[in-house]
Amino acid sequence: MPECEADGTEEGLSDVPEQLRTQLTPRQFVKFGLTSEALRSYVPLIADEVIDFLKRSPSFKGPKGTLDVPIKMAELTIYTASRSLQGKEVRSKFDSSFADLYHHLDMGFSPINFMLPWAPLPHNRKRDYAQQKMSQTYMEIIKARRDTGVKKDEDDMIWNLMSCAYKNGTPLPDNEIAHMMIALLMAGQHSSSSTSAWIMLCLATRPDILEELYQEQLSLLGADLPPLTYDALQRLSLNSQVVKETLRLHAPIHSIMRKVKSPMPVDGTPYTIPISHVLLAAPGVSSLSPEHFPNPEKWEPHRWDAGNAKDEEDDETVDYGYGLVSKGASSPYLPFGAGRHRCIGEQFAYVQLGTITAMLVRSLKWRNPAGVEGVVGTDYSVSRASSMKFSLLASGR
């Protein structure tokens, strides 16, 4: 008996055309694997990865040193996501072959590929080769788990997808599982790694908040700072407010687009948006509006303190086939999008980013190097961002 099944006919989807239902199915399968039980099991795994990383990485050797933030946070993000969501086999491959393949796949995200994804360019050949090798590797992992009768001992996404079947009983084919795993790896990596880098950079300019975060852990979890758990993480409200505030000012995804499928009258105007037009919402516009967020340019995690919080998440909920979720379409706070295609990795991202932040705060203090003031503004242009260096001075607690 499969643990999850889907055919897109669940409540809320019955009016969706057949073709769209099948497109929605992978989303449903993935969502089934992001239960609070799974998230709970990820916290200790992510925390251990952070501890290991601090021990292994030359940047953290000695009483103090300098680190290149985006590079180090990208590494830490991939290690923590692969150890938890992707499973231990994938994590171990990141110490060897997978890192290069991932890099080549990543290079496929170049601006020219939005126009000419098929262009016979050297980086596209490498991308396609990497995609095939990675897909093969995932299928080998699945086969090994089945053939050797390995018992499910962790709640990773591969195990979840291996237990999924379509409504007619057909199990999810291995190649579909492999492709979904690659999609999840790519979907979560840049957004989470850039957010964790911004968290480090923002905290470097606010020693008061860095210290408050440390004191929050000492007072709520105990002076001996026991191993971090999911429940403990839920109690660290300032810690999650740091994540939330960072996403307000530095949302990694600047444009959320929707194609108009039926004529859309605009309330209170004589206009109707015709089909084939594409609408674009930019989270960075409403999140910088003083109407919603007083003194919007300031990074201030305390703006989310109980009573002050004004994210205006609407209460309207909807079921797209995997349980009730907030529609969120009228909120000015949109780093994870809204509606049917809202990010499915949101809770995972909070667990991953919250755990990384809490563990770094336990071990380190950090600040800008001499001569550097404040935090550089968000810049979405590819060439500039990739050529910039952001260093911090870190020292052990």
Task: Report which of 73, 78, 84, 72 is spatially closest to residue 37, judged by C-alpha positions.
Answer: 84
Helix and strand counts by DSSP (H, E) for the chain: 15, 11
Closer of 89 and 156 to ligand HEM (Cβ): 156
Q: Is 66:391 a contact under the CB 8 Å cutoff?
A: yes
Closer of 8 and 188 to ligand HEM (Cβ): 188
The whole-angstrom separation of Cα 287 and Cα 317 is: 22
Does residue 197 touch ligand HEM according to CB under 6 A? no
Site for ligand HEM in 321-350 (CB under 6 A): 335-339, 341-345, 348-349
Does residue 187 touch ligand HEM according to CB under 6 A? yes
Residue of 188, 284, 332, 354 interacting with ligand HEM (CB under 6 A): 188
Nearest approach in angstroms of CB 148 to ligand HEM is 27
Nearest approach in angstroms of CB 225 to ligand HEM is 25
Residue of 172, 184, 228, 360 interacting with ligand HEM (CB under 6 A): 184
What torsion do the CA atoms of 181, 95, 191, 49 make, to the nearest 10 degrees? 100
The whole-angstrom separation of Cα 160 and Cα 145 is: 13
Q: Site mask, ligand HEM, residues 80-99, x = CB under 6 A?
A: -----x--------------
The whole-angstrom separation of Cα 396 and Cα 389 is: 22
Site for ligand HEM in 253-312 (CB under 6 A): 253, 256
The whole-angstrom separation of Cα 47 and Cα 226 is: 11
Q: Site mask, ligand HEM, residues 31-70, x = CB under 6 A?
A: ----------------------------------------
Task: Report which of 54, 13, 33, 1 is spatially closest to residue 396, judged by C-alpha positions.
Answer: 54
Residues present in the chain in total: 397
Closer of 217 and 287 to ligand HEM (Cβ): 287
The whole-angstrom separation of Cα 348 and Cα 304 is: 20
Residue type at 244 in one-letter notation: K
Size of the site for ligand HEM (CB under 6 A): 24
Neighbours of 354 (CB within 10 A): 23
Does residue 246 touch ligand HEM according to CB under 6 A? no
Where along the sequence are the contacts to ligand HEM (CB under 6 A)? 27, 85, 184, 187-188, 191-192, 195, 247, 252-253, 256, 335-339, 341-345, 348-349
